[in-house]
Amino acid sequence: MNTTNHLRVALIQSDLIWENPTANRKKFEKKINGLLDEIDLIVLPEMFTTGFTMNASAVAETIEGETVQWLQDLAQKKATAITGSIVIRENDRFYNRLLFVHPSGKIDSYNKKHTFTLAGEHEVFSAGTEKIIVDYRGWKICPLICYDLRFPVWARNTENYDLLLYVASWPKPRIEAWDSLLKARAIENMTYTAGVNRVGVDPNKYEYTGNTVCYDTLGNCLAKNNLGSEETLIVKLNKQEQTKIRDRFRFLDDQDTFILQ
């Protein structure tokens, strides 16, 4: 595997076309093909092919479906990894599943652990049970989904990961929590932390303002869009610099020891 000290990440903040995977794939492919910089990782929002819908039976795909094949083809063509979540049907269950697609076509997947009970997500989707750490170009990446952000123990950096990712459909009324918690996760886990949120208004009249953002190891903001507009943020992360900061302060060495059940 190729390793790199610098990781160039594209955070794509976009409106979504409701329950229309074909149209959303075309939209994101245009955005991805329009990237002028060389990129190592592209991050898309939660349920980027459909919007945050509970109509799973109408929009679900399989792991052999069109969107997965599209992701693999595009990742290979662009020589970059692409990640985001979609609705997956497997063994007569539905999952809000994040797919991390490597340029080789390899797929790492994560099923959303904390289903959003306020919207009834727990009644439609099965909850995941396993946290994953993706090894990519010498970086350890922890990908999580939206509501997971409210539960810090699940993101706890016991694996010495280098980048924490959240993909989301986080609405405007609670956007202050999004901003505060993402910064807190960066600080407490001493890691680069990025959150990609959608914009626009869905048919349920929920408004999304984006606030896609990336923080460094100490909680300093590297890039942010809180204007509610479609935009791709490009951030360049430096693993060596992060390691220097961790070695200097060593806050992670003082974590409490406990077992999550």
Query: Is residue 46 among the annotated active site residues?
Result: yes
- Of 142, 146, 214, 224, the active-site residue reads 146
Residue bearing tokens 């430096």: 238
- Of 27, 31, 112, 239, the active-site residue reads 112
Sign of CA dihedral 121, 57, 195, 16: negative
Query: Is residue 159 among the annotated active site residues?
Result: no
Q: For residue 212, count CB atoms less than 10 angstroms from its CB and return exposed for 0-12, middle for 13-18, buried for 19 or more.
A: buried
Written as one string, the DSSP assignment of 71-84 is HHHHHHHHTSEEEE
- Of 19, 27, 31, 46, the active-site residue reads 46
Nearest residue to 162 via CA among 32, 41, 1: 41
Residue bearing tokens 């955005």: 31
199 by DSSP, 3-state: which?
Answer: strand
Longest dimension (CA), the chain: 52
Query: Is residue 112 among the annotated active site residues?
Result: yes
Catalytic positions: 46, 112, 146
